Structures are given as structure tokens and as C-alpha cells.
Amino acid sequence: MKLNNSIIDIVKKLYPFDYSVAGEGNDRAIKTFKNYLNFKIYNFKTNKNLNGWIIPRASKILKGEIYENKKKILDYKNSSFHVISQSNSFKGVVDGKNLIKRLIFSNKLPGGLPYGWTGLYRPNQSEWGFSVKKSFVKKIKPNKKYKVNIISEFKKNTMKVLDYKIKGKSNKTFIFNAHNCHKFQANDDISGCAVGIKLFEHLKKKKLKYSYRLVIAPELFGPMFWLKQLGSEIKNFKGAILLKAVGNQNKLKLQNSFNLNTFLDKSAELAILKQKQKFKKGNFRTVYGNDETVFEAPGYKIPTITLTRYPFKEYHTNLDTPKILKEKNLQETLDVCKSIVEIIEKNENLVNNHKGLVCLSNKKYNLYKPAYSPGVDKIKYTDDKRRWNLLMNCLPMEIENGSNILNLSYKYKIDFFDLSKYLDKWVKKKLIKYSKETY
């Protein structure tokens, strides 16, 4: 059931949940996610261990207070960010010097409350602590005594992984991934979830050559345990596209796969260039760290790229709200994703169907892309025309060396979709043909 027209409306529906790895907020959000797409839900029990990664128990904070004398100076009820994730219970009196050691705050954003997430992923460092504004820290007197009262409750639960599959003609599958483990974080990463949902609402109406899956899950834990239980199905996974913090005002960035130059890296770069927007790209793990290490890990080796607008100043704070998102930027990200899928779908391996040099200017073919004729041509000979002429002349040899539309588009800096239409004409003239196997 489609609830909203804009991507930011989807964000607003998915945002107000106390997400964690296996928290009650994730459970409550399932119904809202399924209102958009009929996700299959995978459940993994807390305390389950995989390669030393242990799914943390669901945590609930019942109290989180700091008193100076008898005056309450901090209360968890005012913001769920005030107590760090997986905080242990603690009741006692501490001096200001030691209390400050238990306070996390942001120098970059002194008016924000940082998201204290580390306890979820570093179980050996579980402890108690508070998240506060920088001004709060300045008021703590090192030699003064403060009463602390944290009551936390841990329960067994299940981590939920949401998986929506669109079956194409081929079992070869491409994954889109976003995460839902940060409480009340609109950009990181409900923006990725919303763009993914909008993309798959679009794709499910199409006749597709390949299969696609949208996987929304707590980062690291979710994809890790999900992949483990899929078994032989994984052999069909040809690539993964991560959508991570994609709605703020920064320029879109592309983080390359580990091997840097796969068909997926090229597809994404061409798709972004199609938007005629400046963008930055970086090597694996140099732009944004997330689930790429899971998909590319030994035994899987799934080429994985990331689309992101990280960094942004509200990152991992209570100020990462829907207000910082722009529909224009969310839509731009969606358009890039659509283009990536179009390129994947339209890419073909090429095979020569002729011998010798063909006169492409002959009206029988009419495939000639003219070269510059000094003293004859009066119009400007552009770089674009020069590239087209070079591609035309080199095309038969490129095909003999085993090429495809994507590689030619990338090498000769020609729009993929324009090139695809041109090559369709070569096929129609029976000079070349498309091969069945592409990925």
C-alpha cells in the first residue's frame, strides 16, 4: 500500500522509532515498513554469535538521572539520547572529575546530543554513561559530588532483517542496502531506507532482466547473519549498492568497491554523471564505513559500492531530523539509483557479425560519425564529436577484444544510453550481435 508521494514523507513515517540492533523500536517499525513493501522478515535471536559478533540484547532505560545536591540536573525522560546505548545500571555518588569521564558530547556541534552507539558493537566495553550538550559539561565541578541513577533493563529479543525481492528473468541478483539501527536519525540512515523503498516501488512495475533485493537491517549484524543463512543462493549475488545518508545538502559521493574498477563502479559513475552534477569519489572504505566490509568479505566477495552525502554536521546526534533533508537531494539519489539499474539492465556483451572494414557512411548502413575535415567543415568540431568518431573507428577491434556497452561508454566518455541506441543500429544492420551472458 502506497502511503505518500514524496521521499521525505516516507522518511517522516519511518523516523520516529527508537531503533537499535534488536530493540522494541525496530519491532514497532515493521508495520510501517510493510505498508510500503511486503518485506519478508528474517529473525535472529539476541546473543547469537557469528565470528565473534554477538547480537546485543534489547535494552530499555527505565531511569537516567543526575542530581547535584538534591536538584535533578539531567533526566532521560527529556531525551532518549541522554543515556548511551546498552548502558549498564548504576546507582551511586561520584565526584565531578569521574562523572565527566562518563559524559559524551560534541565539540563540532555543542548544542547537540551525540548518539552513544559503541556499546552495541563493542560488548566488551559495556558500561554506563550519559550523552549531554557541551554546556552541561562546563557546569560540572570536578570536586563536587553528584548522585547518579541509571536503571536499565535487558531482554531477549530478535534482530529483524527486512528483505524485499523482485524476481527478474534471471536469478542473477543485485542488492540495495540501507540500515535501521540508529534511533531518531533521519539522514543516517532512514534517508537510505526511504530512497530504497521508492526505488523498489518503481522497479516492481517493470519487466526486468535481472533480480533485485532491498535489504534493510542493522548495520554489520543484519547483512552478516542474513548472508550466513542464505546458503547457495549467494552465488547469484552480483553486486551491492549501499544507500547511506543520502538526503542532506552535500554533493553525492561514490565510494568504490574494493577492486575499484568493477562494472558496478563504472555503472554508478556514469549514472551520477548523467545527472550533470559534480560529485566526488573515493576508494573502498575511504569515504564512509559501513556494510561494504560484510558483502566484500571472504566467501562472499560481492562487489559493493556506496552512495552517500557524508559527512554532515548533525551526524550521530539528536539534530539529525527530517528538517535537514531536502527532497531535491533525495530525488537526485533516487534518479541515480534508477540509472544504475537501467545500465545494469541494458548492458550487453558485444560480438562481431562481419569481417573486414565496413563503409559506415554508405546509405546501406548510415552509421558514420564524421571526423573533422579541415578547410571543409565550417561548424565547430567538439570533443564529444571527436570521441564519437574515435569510438566508431575502434568499435570492431574493441569487440574483438571482448567488450560491452558499459566498458565502451566508460572508456570513450560517451553517455551510456546514447551509445546503447547507436549500437542497436549496428545490431539492426547485422554488423554485430549481443551476447546472452553479461555478468
Q: How many domains does the chain have?
A: 3
In a domain, 439, yes or no: no
Q: Are residues 150 and 163 in the same domain?
A: no
Domain, as residue range, for 192: 7-54+158-346
The pLDDT tens digits for 325-340 are 999 999 999 999 999 9
What is the pLDDT confidence band of residue 276, given thresholds at 50, 70 and 90?
A: confident
CATH number for the domain including 126?
3.50.30.90
Q: Are strands 432-434 and 350-352 parallel, antiparallel or unpaired?
A: antiparallel
In a domain, 2, yes or no: no
What is the reported pLDDT for 4? 55
Q: Are strands 158-166 and 211-216 parallel, antiparallel or unpaired?
A: antiparallel
What is the pLDDT confidence band of residue 439, given thresholds at 50, 70 and 90?
A: confident
Q: Are residues 206 and 312 in the same domain?
A: yes
The residue-averaged pLDDT of 392-408 equals: 96
In a domain, 419, yes or no: yes
Looking at every residue in the chain, the average pLDDT score rounds to: 95
Domain boundary among the residues 346, 362, 392 is at 346
Q: Are residues 298 and 188 in the same domain?
A: yes
Q: How many helices (H) and strands (E) does the chain have?
A: 13, 18
177: left (phi over 0), alpha (psi -120 to 50) or beta: beta
In a domain, 119, yes or no: yes
CA quadruple 244, 247, 251, 253: dihedral, nearest 10: 10
Q: Are residues 76 and 210 in the same domain?
A: no
The pLDDT tens digits for 223-274 are 999 999 998 999 999 999 999 999 999 999 999 999 999 999 999 999 999 9
Q: Are residues 98 and 213 in the same domain?
A: no
What is the pLDDT confidence band of residue 1, given thresholds at 50, 70 and 90?
A: very low
Q: Are residues 92 and 181 in the same domain?
A: no
In a domain, 74, yes or no: yes
Q: Are residues 102 and 140 in the same domain?
A: yes
Q: Which residues of 286-349 form beta strands (DSSP E)?
A: 304-308
pLDDT > 90? residue 380: no
Q: Are residues 198 and 248 in the same domain?
A: yes
pLDDT > 80? residue 375: no
Grid cell listed for 234: 549467494
Q: Are residues 180 and 236 in the same domain?
A: yes
Q: Are residues 147 and 45 in the same domain?
A: no
Cα 78 to Cα 67: distance, rounded to the nearest angstrom: 15
Domain boundary among the residues 106, 123, 154 is at 154
pLDDT > 70? residue 179: yes
Phi, psi at 72, each rounded to 5°: -80, 120
The pLDDT tens digits for 147-168 are 999 999 999 999 999 999 999 9
- Nearest CA to 177 among 125, 127, 152, 212? 212
In a domain, 1, yes or no: no
CA distances from residue 251 to 144, 191, 203, 268, 314 in whole angstroms, order as listed: 47, 15, 25, 15, 16
Q: Say whether pTM exceeds 0.75.
A: yes
In a domain, 179, yes or no: yes
What is the reported pLDDT for 438? 85
In a domain, 284, yes or no: yes
∠ CA 364-373-415, nearest 5°, is 65
Position of cell 534518479? 335
What is the pLDDT confidence band of residue 382, given thresholds at 50, 70 and 90?
A: confident
24, amino acid identity: E
pLDDT > 80? residue 369: yes
What is the reported pLDDT for 90? 97
Cα 180 to Cα 395: distance, rounded to the nearest angstrom: 46
pLDDT > 90? residue 350: yes
pLDDT > 50? residue 376: yes
Q: Are residues 163 and 102 in the same domain?
A: no
Q: Are residues 189 and 325 in the same domain?
A: yes
Domain boundary among the residues 298, 320, 346 is at 346
